[in-house]
Amino acid sequence: MLRFTSLIMLWGVTALACAAPDADLRIQGSNTIGANLGPALVAAMLAEHGLRDIHRVAAAPPNEHTIIGTDAQGREVRVDVAAHGSGTGFAALKAGQADVVASSRPIKDRELVELERLGDLKSQAAEHVIAIDGLAIILHPHNPLTALSTEQLAQVFSGQIKTWEALGGSGGGIHLYARDDQSGTWETFKELVLTRGAHVLSPTAQRFESSEQLSDAVSQDPQAIGFIGLPYVRAAKAVAIVDGESQPMLPLDSLIASEDYPLSRRLFFYLPPGASNPWAKALIAFTQSAKGQAVVAHNGFVAQSVVAGHVAAGPHMPADYRKLTQQAQRLSVNFRFEEGSASLDNKARQDMLRVVDYLRAHAKLDKQVTLVGFGDVKDDPERAQLLSKLRAMAVRRELLKSGVILREIRGYGAQMPVAANTEDEGRLKNRRVEVWVY
């Protein structure tokens, strides 16, 4: 009898599992995105499309959510979000188990090849920057250190520097906290900090799948150091970062929005260009809208909305650049370029639309804009200056298509670097064009 009852119960559970509705949209990937931002964007998108009774249901596995809403016909729309790391998203897309990949790093070349049957996932139609984030280097709130270089970080997290005294601090041995191997946050830290000098993470590091748990652990350990996405600093203390000859930079919204902060990074949605899922397309469109970017900001990330702000003059600036800071305001986006190309990258193409909308809304289309180009170090400083000005001219050509008449174009060559020029990643960041408005 007991066995018969057990069989009946097993049949009931199986029947319920089979009866569970298929998701209308499946998002897999980054924990940084999927923990809160992804579900919040989904809920706001569903509300924008008129759905009601929108609610979130936590799934049985950790870091998974289901968002459910009801449409005008009374039908439930279900969106599943699984947040186990950026790499798991691309694997799920390959296996046909995801519609959209949430990633806190760019797609890797290997993944691009593995998924080429789905189309070019690096194309403008497939790769969508949804927000800007900064990797914060966090310490216990009572740690007196205020700044670290990327070189020091590499030596610390590889175990070459083992004590706080070696960094000019106090407290004895350093305790390392890091995200897990599936995390895009880990991939970004590895790429921006460890890989440069062929460093590997020390085996003594404690690893976490959850951003929140890592941050809380650091804030409770006086000897701790960790890295985390900007919204997860919580009770810990963030320090300023120096990369190469850059100025020390805290993970401030203004420096992250322009991607000048050395450990800034882009957060992505990847949608195969030939995808037909209407909810996936609706999510991408909503995320790029002003309302979508407001959700981004509300969840602690840096939105791509264009704003103008004053820049404080500094002694590291050329004299005429200091004068520019007194006369004009800088917009919150920098235009950057595809690797080895004079073409704007996917984010820059989207930012072009935002900048034009800003200029039009603020009546600055006619001779109210100065473009300032920068580049990386060349053997010939004059060539570096010329290339930096040519990049600004490439942006001018795109602005002219929308009726923007510039006031001036400047090129400063390799001056005022924001990253080290020793690696491709740093050189790409230094090749930038700023937008200033009067």
**What is the per-residue pLDDT for 17?**
35
Q: How confident is the model at residue 380 (pLDDT cuts 50, 70, 90)?
A: confident
Residue 193 predicted with pLDDT over 60 = yes
Q: Residues 276-298: what's their mean pLDDT? A: 97
CB 383 within 8 A of CB 348: no
**306-437 matches 18-130+266-298 in CATH topology:** no
**For the segment 6-64, what is each residue's pLDDT rounded down to a tens digit?**
333 333 333 333 334 689 999 999 998 998 999 999 999 999 999 999 999 877 778 89
**What are the C-alpha distances in Å from 403 to residues 2, 334, 359, 365, 390?**
80, 20, 10, 7, 20
> ∠ CA 318-321-326 to the nearest 5 degrees?
130
Q: Classify domain 306-437 by CATH architecture.
A: 2-Layer Sandwich (3.30)
pLDDT category, 217, cuts 50, 70, 90?
very high
Quote the pTM value: 0.84
| Sign of the C-alpha dihedral computed for residues 149, 155, 159 and 165 taken in this order | negative
Containing 391, the helix (H) or strand (E) segment is helix 381-400
CATH number of 18-130+266-298: 3.40.190.10
- The residue length of the chain stands at 438
Top pLDDT among 42 and 231 is at 42
Instruction: Please give the pLDDT value at position 20.
Output: 46
Q: For residue 5, name the pLDDT band (cuts at 50, 70, 90).
A: very low
Q: Where are the domains of the chain?
A: 18-130+266-298, 133-257, 306-437
Residue type, position 361, single letter: A
User: Distance between CA 16 and CA 273 in Å, rounded?
Assistant: 35
| Whole-angstrom distance, CA of residue 196 vs CA of residue 205 | 19
Condensed to tens digits (0 to 9), the pLDDT of residues 300-331 reads: 899 999 999 999 999 999 999 999 999 999 99
What is the dotted CATH code of the domain comprising 133-257? 3.40.190.10
- For residues 309 and 329, the answer to whether their CB atoms sit within 8 Å is yes
Q: Nearest 5 degrees, angle CA 34-CA 38-CA 40? A: 125
Q: Give me the pLDDT at residue 37, please.
A: 96
| Percent share of the chain, pLDDT over 70 | 95
Mean pLDDT to the nearest integer, 176-198: 91
pLDDT tens by residue, 131-182: 999 999 999 999 999 999 999 999 999 999 999 999 999 999 999 999 999 8
Residue 4 has pLDDT above 80, yes or no: no
